[in-house]
Structure 1
């Protein structure tokens, strides 16, 4: 039986990123200056980041037999991620159309394809038998139910981490209660936290407290170019971002997740894990796309003194 440090469970998409002179609003026009195709999906980006850091990783998801599905499988395998948990079917693989402006800000349009057609009985429970962390990210549609089903059946020894993204956050705490009740670590951003908690609380600290009350052990609130807030109820920290030139914010949150979970798996405390998360995110945004800038473990070693852990 294979042993994994982290298995990701989420959507697999081919990201088609267009560089534009500006992100348009209704009835506006802009023009394309460049184009980049890469493989993505939030959970996939995170496990690739962990694989580059020497972790043993696997993935649960779904692709079709089309060209994009082949690209997605080959990309994970190339990055050292086990793909035996991925279901291959007829249909259309997932795509994301992205538009990135000169400041690195972005607008994304998701075409989920077969990502949203995962049934609970298609997921092999024994794939997770020797897994330390199961990392969940959002689906647009019905595959959410497969996640709910699987986490109700896996061993209590498996730590569950969740990046809800905007899609799950907008559904709110009540909709997500079955997943949240089994989640140990939630990795969200400030805007998502507002949606998740119904925008009832004056500060993100208050929202984080609400999540801690729902049995979650660690709450991470990613705040872009502002300090990241991390709390476990007993200790709370603000972790300052690294000052680097931003080329593209695509995948920055997923990169943070990789760094944080790497620290957690290596017995770092939440402050140290947060610093690792911000460092990996800073590497990501210096390059275009979600995984091009992710560092290998050998590169991370060089920066131990810089990140002060």
Structure 2
């Protein structure tokens, strides 16, 4: 019984007692007129109190009902406490090796520039998120394909250092995926991917699907990043390249309690939301991570003009309506990355708008935290992957969603403070250890 309901019952008893006392007084008093006045006043007060209490009770019942509904929506993004998960997160991802070149001028078409610096590091969107979660002491398994040819061993070594379970990672005698990243003096970037061994993922994952589903259904989260090339998504592809049948197997075999997150990336977004692969993943995903221009591509096929907050929320409303027609899982958390557009270095690599919705927006948060002391923005590559890690890590800890958004924003800044998609985690962990603060409180 709620506290309000108990109070309501107590007040009714008080009113009843007062009315009874007035009646007894009237029957025993030799001056009936005085007793009558007492009854009249008592009844009037009782009537007014009863109306006020009833109205307040009804109003608060409505509030409690609304709060219960929002609580149930919130609760759907946290692992069920009565489930004994063997694994925190299973990540299904491409694995790439990234080559970074920084240039002194803004990247524009038909320009030739000399690289100021050159560096390389392990990458792959989901693999970056997996690595960061591993460094944050989460139990992470990684599923995909990795070429054994150079620099495949370096990719494997990095995953091992983060204590990631790679027993579902298939090693093949091929070149691993490779990525060229150009970063200019404003932090803007251009990315070109050569998929390499990742193109064999469909065939290999299909063969291992029983083991993948067993691991997935013993995990709190399944995090899936993009695999296919644009042509594969638009026109279909060779059977051993086509991820759609594989993902249909995965989605069909996932238990309802598993929380699924999805990163469409540019390669999936440019083909639009009404694509078989995208519709499948959007319908099952509980959490979706994307950039604002990718949301434009999904809905309109183009990404033009500035995306104000008002325009972004209009796009979100349209997306939620679209998803509600596809999915039997009504709640979704959209984590939308909005890169700062400035001629000089941004004060933050991205602005995060996180939206909790069903077929409409229930609540949203905007975050662009100040730069942690001593950090400057260098390269946003991997900052979105860090935001995904921050959200998942906070939800695993049971932190409220507003704190999860803060954690995502802060972690993304540390990653963007250094060239490379993973190196900033060391600075983050060092500062967190010194301040005894795992993330923003």
TM-score, with length taken from structure 1: 0.91
- Equivalent residues in 2 for 1:66-145, closer than 5 Å: 66-118=149-201, 119=203, 120-123=206-209, 124=211, 125-141=213-229, 142=241, 144-145=243-244
Equivalent residue pairs, number: 309
Of 221-230 and 276-285, deviating more is 221-230
Residue 257 of structure 2: SS of its match in structure 1? coil
Residue in structure 1 matched with residue 7 of structure 2 by the alignment? none
1:139-171 CA distance string (max 9 Å, x none): 134353223431221222111001111111112
Can you give the 5+ residue segments of structure 1 that lack an aligned partner in the other structure? none
What is the Cα-based RMSD across aligned positions, in Å? Answer: 2.4
Distance 2:412 2:118 in 1: 22
C-alpha spacing 1:143/1:133, structure 2 compared with 1 (3 Å): farther
C-alpha spacing 1:109/1:260, structure 2 compared with 1 (3 Å): same
Distance 2:175 2:85 in 1: 29
Displacement after TM superposition at 1:172 (Å): 1.6
C-alpha spacing 1:143/1:160, structure 2 compared with 1 (3 Å): farther
Residue in structure 1 matched with residue 366 of structure 2 by the alignment? 238
1:249-281 CA distance string (max 9 Å, x none): 110110111111111111122211110000000
Residue 103 of structure 1: SS of its match in structure 2? coil
Residue 186 of structure 1: SS of its match in structure 2? strand
| 2:145–2:198 CA contact under 8 A, matched in 1 | yes
Residue 271 of structure 1: SS of its match in structure 2? helix
C-alpha spacing 1:3/1:23, structure 2 compared with 1 (3 Å): farther
- Equivalent residues in 2 for 1:127-276, closer than 5 Å: 127-141=215-229, 142=241, 144-145=243-244, 146-175=246-275, 176-198=278-300, 203-213=311-321, 214=323, 215-225=330-340, 227-233=351-357, 234-243=362-371, 244-276=375-407
Higher relative contact order (CA 8 A, sep 6+): 1
1:169-217 CA distance string (max 9 Å, x none): 1122121111111100011111111111226997211222233331451
Residue in structure 1 matched with residue 117 of structure 2 by the alignment? 34
C-alpha spacing 1:204/1:301, structure 2 compared with 1 (3 Å): farther
TM-score, with length taken from structure 2: 0.65
The answer to whether 1:300 aligns with 2:432 is yes
Higher normalized helix content (fraction of residues) = 2
| 1:242–1:282 CA contact under 8 A, matched in 2 | no
| 1:38–1:289 CA contact under 8 A, matched in 2 | yes
Of 200-209 and 99-108, deviating more is 200-209
Can you give the 5+ residue segments of structure 2 that lack an aligned partner in the other structure? 1-83, 230-240, 324-329, 341-349
Displacement after TM superposition at 1:90 (Å): 2.9
* Larger Rg computed on CA atoms: 2
Distance 2:155 2:179 in 1: 13
Distance 1:90 1:153 in 2: 30
